[in-house]
Amino acid sequence: MQHSPGLWALAWRRLRADRVAMLALAVVAAFLLMLLLSAGGLIVADWEDEVAVSYAPPGFAAAAAAAAAAPAEPAELAAAAAGAPRPANEFDPLAEDLRQLRAGHGAGAMAGAGPALRQTLPFGADKWGHDVVKKTIKGAETSIVVGLVAAALAVGLGTLFGAVAGYYGGLVDDFFNWFYSVFTAIPSILMILTVAAVLQQKGVPTIVLILGLTGWTAPFRLIRAEYIKHKAREYVMAADAIGASHWRRMFSHILPNVSHVALVQLSILVVGFIKAEVILSFLGFGVPVGVVSWGSMLNEAQNELILGKWWQLSAAALAMAVLVTAFSLLTDALRDALDPKVK
């Protein structure tokens, strides 16, 4: 007797046939592997080491940065390099020290103070001389955990509340609708700040709770509507006729047919929560001092852009764009693979 494949076996078969989905899956898996290696201290454990001068430019832009930073008086610089005396400047008390540094007289004195700092890095350095590539990898550990775990918490709560409200209806539905109305009546930023003020702590678990407890309303509304529509269909009535319990009908029969809605919401919330972490870090409710994330990097980069230092912003934005795009493509493909109406 030949058994028909189950829901997840069929979904995996459809997913493997989609090359874009498999590429997106490989990118997401690479980010998750990088997260695990970083959390275990196997890579970028030394991201806080000062390895370069402050704001060291990327290697591919070093020539342009050096040309832009060159003084406007080449004749005077040539005289300083030759050791010629420079007229004293009463408005610049550091002029003589700068002349000596440019002439190279200070290099020998600084050599014994520690290892030589690099002038360029593959993708530049930040204000403290940290490697931006290592900092981006370490920041991914925080941002990915916040985005995925908080989105999973929000979608889990929204799916549970929506399933119960849509399936049972009546007073149960009225209670959850009232609860939903209370949360949506308050502006989201005020709700986030309220939960943050109640928790009175900083750190990744706090950010996850703040975003998860305030982000369940959109999944609730959509899942509730799907359960209201599906609970009266023939396959649910057939499950009731063979004696399936309410919870089995809700989560074994109806949930697989509405899981694509939850996956779409998961994709949307992951993107939104990674952005929300930036806002929380900016307002002082995000990651504590000493913990790096893509949000804290973007927060630092807004001041660096005034000085023309664009590489930290570019690194964090590029990493976020790659992960968000790959995750969105993967969840879209998984939604289509799980949707029973899509052949």
**pLDDT tens digits, one per residue of 109-165:** 444 445 688 888 888 899 889 999 999 999 998 888 888 899 999 999 999 999 999
**pLDDT tens digits, one per residue of 261-303:** 898 888 889 878 877 887 777 676 777 777 888 888 888 888 8
Rounded to an integer, the average pLDDT of 173-177 is: 94
Cα end-to-end span (Å), the chain? 25
pLDDT at residue 226 in the model: 93
Structure tokens at 88: 């004293």
Could you tell me which residues come within 8 angstroms of residue 21 by beta carbon, excluding any fewer than 6 positions away? 15, 329, 330, 333, 334, 337
pLDDT at residue 77 in the model: 44
Residue 154: Cβ within 10 Å count: 27
Which residue did the predictor score with more confidence, 343 or 295?
295
CB 52 within 8 A of CB 116: no
SS3 for 125? strand
Residue 46: what are its φ and ψ, rounded to 5°?
A: -105, 30
Helices (H), the chain: 7-16, 19-39, 62-69, 74-81, 95-103, 107-111, 132-168, 170-185, 188-199, 204-214, 217-230, 234-241, 246-248, 255-283, 294-304, 311-338
